[in-house]
């Protein structure tokens, strides 16, 4: 989708609706602006070339004898376009009939059913009976990457996948082999697709020809709830949609954000989150009494922890770079209240190899494999390679860091060990109090990405047991000692944070919206589309 640049505007009429678009756009983009849906397969706004080969987007333009492919046709001033004229509709219907000649029509067992453009447009044309008397061509299926299957029969050779790999990922390993009705997508002999961004070819496929093996037969498109979120895999902060079913994350899909990830995301991010479904979760508050961790309800646990915190002065803290801004804010406030020195808080970020998507360099799988390292920096936590051994006999406070890689004897001698976390690792079992908190998928909040863009994520899953968001737990603890009142809503937590932090004063919950807002933006400069 072209951004509104400084080029001149031209006005044209599409199905009687007059629109003004920049002169370097095409008719299909103008139609989108006019609110007219032109069916299309080979055209994808994120892929530069427009081969106009699917022929589904043909429209009638007044003054031109032949129908024109709207995805490739540049706009002209005063153009009059009809997408619903008899000729255009007949052409579309005929093209779709041809696409269905060899299509197996196996929608009942196809994972794309319900989100398939061929299904949608074929249904729209209203032709319920096939006129084909011949046998259909059967080609079977193929594995074109570790985790991607290709169903050649379903493929309509729109070449979106080939062009994505060639032009956006800049990797020539996917080709169209053979010709005519025998054409299929393939890699070179003895070579598999091996690219950190190859998962996107499944997203761009308008039909069910390319399928992720992880998702194969897992769920139907209409079974899933979709929640806008942020990928927690690295510090790039790609906008994603979490597809959930029965309180489990089934898959991640990229969500368009022209400033962060365009239409794409990396494979690491896709796979990373499925791990969130596993592991031993903390479900109820546990407070150590007489040597044993005793389960309690929230009010008893907060009272018991508050009592223990009363006699504490100083200590050290460890936070996870996966904690959201709001939780870090209240954690910092709690540490300040307890007199923990400002430099005694640390966080550690797992490192990995960096991969950049050549066609959209802003989308890079960053070395920092955590969502909110920048946020931890902002709240004054110190970045370390490995956590310093806490001072023997001093208190230790841990926020959401699982301590899975901590040494065996970590925090053995702490005088008081408070653990707020979602998973119970061996080190965490030594805590004097374990307060169960939610993962990012089970709560609302914000992350700050590597370039200081604050982005919101929403609650997609129900938390296990009585776990609560960390900001809710911490504000409750603070309120117990007379510092503010408990915060029950992410927007309120965000509001308190931006009020108290001058460097975050430009942020506004509504303006952060679904597209994010950068910390260095002047008020309103980065207005997120569709503030909510």
User: Which residues contribute to the site for another protein (CB under 8 A)?
Assistant: 107-109, 113, 141, 216-218, 220, 222-223
In this structure, are residues 471 and 528 in contact, taking their beta carbons and an 8 Å threshold? no
Least Å distance between CB 109 and another protein?
Answer: 4
> Which residue, 141 or 404, has its beta carbon nearer to another protein?
141
State in angstroms the smallest separation of the CB of 145 from another protein.
Answer: 16
Tell me whether residue 107 or residue 176 sits nearer to another protein (CB atom): 107
Looking at the Cβ atoms of 226 and 404, the one nearer to another protein is 226
Closest CA to 311 of 57, 481, 167: 481
Smallest gap from Cβ 219 to another protein, in A, equals 8
CB 413 within 8 A of CB 393: yes
Q: How far is the CB of 99 from another protein (least distance, A)?
A: 20
> What is the token pair recorded at 355?
């991969």
Q: CB-wise, 219 or 527, nearer to another protein?
A: 219
Angstrom distance (rounded) from CA 284 to CA 293: 11
The neighbour count for residue 247, using CB atoms within 10 Å, is: 14
Instruction: Report how far residue 357's alpha carbon sits from residue 365's, in angstroms, rounded to the nearest whole number.
Output: 8
Q: Which is nearer to another protein, 114 or 258 (CB)?
A: 114
DSSP tag of 517: E
Cα separation, 454 vs 448, in Å, equals 4
Q: Residue 145 forms beta bridges with which residues?
A: 148, 193
Which residue, 192 or 223, has its beta carbon nearer to another protein? Answer: 223
Q: Which residue, 109 or 275, is less far from another protein as judged by CB?
A: 109
Q: How far apart are CA 348 and CA 318, in angstroms?
A: 9
Residue 107: CB minimum distance to another protein, A: 8
- CB neighbours (10 Å) of residue 15? 16
In the three-class reduction of DSSP (H, G, I as helix; E, B as strand; rest coil), residue 244 is classed as: strand
Q: CA–CA distance from 469 to each of 153, 265, 493 (Å)?
A: 47, 27, 11
Beta carbon of residue 151, minimum distance to another protein (angstroms, whole number): 10
Q: Which is nearer to another protein, 114 or 295 (CB)?
A: 114
Q: How far is the CB of 155 from another protein (least distance, A)?
A: 17
Specify the DSSP class assigned to residue 363: -
- DSSP label at 281? B
Task: Give Cα 232 to chain centroid, integer Å.
Answer: 8
The distance from CA 415 to its chain's CA centroid, rounded to whole angstroms, is 41
As measured in angstroms, the least distance from the Cβ of 111 to another protein is 9
| Nearest distance from C-beta of residue 229 to another protein, angstroms | 25
Contacts of 142 (CB under 8 A, 6+ apart): 149, 150, 152, 184, 186
The torsion angles phi and psi of 124, rounded to 5 degrees, stand at -60, -35
For another protein, give the closer residue by CB, 188 or 217.
217
Is the Cβ of residue 118 or residue 334 nearer to another protein in the bound state?
118
Distance, C-alpha 130 to centroid of its chain: 40
Q: Nearest approach, Cβ of 108 to another protein (angstroms)?
A: 3
Name which of 108 and 311 has its Cβ closer to another protein: 108
Tokens in use for 42? 């080979």
Provide the minimum distance between the beta carbon of 141 and another protein in the complex, in angstroms, as a whole number: 7
Residue with tokens 């040597």: 291
Tokens of 366: 């960053």
Closer residue to another protein, CB minimum distance, 224 or 305: 224
Cα separation, 96 vs 406, in Å, equals: 59
H/E run at residue 124: helix 117-125
Scored b (16 or more CB within 10 A) or e, 370-403 reads bbbbbbbbbbebeeeeebeebeeebbbbbbbbbb
Query: Measured from the CB of residue 217, what is the shortest distance to another protein in angstroms?
Result: 5
């Amino acid at each position: 989708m072209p951004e509104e640049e400084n080029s001149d505007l031209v006005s044209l009429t599409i199905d009687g609706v007059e629109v003004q678009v920049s002169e370097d756009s095409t008719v299909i983009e103008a139609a989108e602006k006019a609110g007219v849906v032109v069916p299309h397969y080979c055209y994808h706004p994120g892929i530069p070339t427009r081969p106009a080969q699917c022929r589904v987007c043909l429209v009638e333009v007044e003054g031109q004898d032949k129908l024109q492919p709207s995805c490739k046709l540049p706009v002209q001033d005063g153009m009059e376009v009809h997408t619903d004229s008899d000729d255009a509709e007949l052409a579309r219907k005929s093209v779709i009939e041809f696409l269905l000649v060899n299509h197996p029509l196996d929608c009942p067992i196809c994972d794309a059913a319900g989100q398939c453009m061929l299904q949608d447009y074929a249904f729209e044309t209203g032709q319920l009976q096939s006129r084909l008397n011949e046998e259909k061509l059967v080609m079977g299926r193929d594995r074109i990457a570790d985790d991607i299957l290709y169903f050649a029969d379903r493929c309509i050779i729109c070449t979106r996948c080939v062009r994505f790999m060639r032009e956006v990922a800049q990797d020539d390993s996917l080709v169209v082999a053979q010709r005519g009705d025998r054409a299929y997508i393939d890699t070179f002999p003895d070579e598999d697709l091996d690219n950190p961004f190859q998962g996107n070819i499944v997203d761009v496929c308008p039909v069910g020809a390319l399928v992720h093996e992880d998702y194969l037969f897992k769920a139907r498109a209409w079974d899933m709830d979709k929640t806008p979120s942020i990928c927690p895999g690295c510090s790039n902060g790609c906008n994603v949609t979490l597809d959930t079913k029965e309180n489990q994350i089934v898959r991640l899909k990229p969500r368009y954000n022209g400033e962060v990830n365009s239409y794409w995301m990396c494979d690491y991010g896709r796979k990373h989150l499925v791990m969130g479904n596993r592991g031993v979760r903390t479900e109820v508050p546990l407070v150590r009494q007489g040597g044993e961790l005793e389960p309690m309800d929230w009010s008893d646990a907060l009272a018991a922890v508050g009592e223990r915190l009363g006699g504490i002065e100083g200590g050290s803290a460890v936070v996870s770079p996966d904690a959201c801004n709001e939780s870090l804010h209240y954690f910092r406030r709690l540490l300040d209240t307890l007199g923990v020195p400002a430099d005694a808080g640390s966080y550690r970020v797992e490192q990995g190899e960096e991969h950049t998507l050549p066609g959209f360099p802003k989308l890079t799988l960053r070395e920092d494999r955590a969502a909110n390292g920048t946020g931890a920096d902002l709240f004054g936590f110190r970045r370390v390679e490995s956590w310093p051994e806490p001072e023997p006999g001093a208190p230790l406070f841990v926020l959401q860091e699982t301590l899975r890689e901590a040494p065996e004897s970590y925090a053995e001698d702490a005088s008081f060990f408070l653990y707020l976390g979602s998973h119970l690792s061996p080190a965490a079992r030594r805590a004097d109090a374990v307060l169960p908190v939610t993962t990012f998928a089970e709560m609302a909040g914000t992350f700050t990405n590597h370039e200081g863009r604050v982005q919101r994520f929403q609650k997609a899953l129900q938390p296990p047991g009585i776990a609560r968001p960390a900001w809710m737990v911490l504000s409750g603890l603070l309120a117990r000692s007379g510092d503010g009142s408990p915060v029950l809503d992410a927007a309120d937590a965000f509001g308190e944070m931006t009020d108290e932090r001058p460097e975050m004063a430009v942020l506004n919950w509504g303006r952060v919206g679904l597209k994010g807002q950068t910390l260095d933006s002047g008020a309103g400069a980065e207005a997120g589309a569709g503030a909510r």
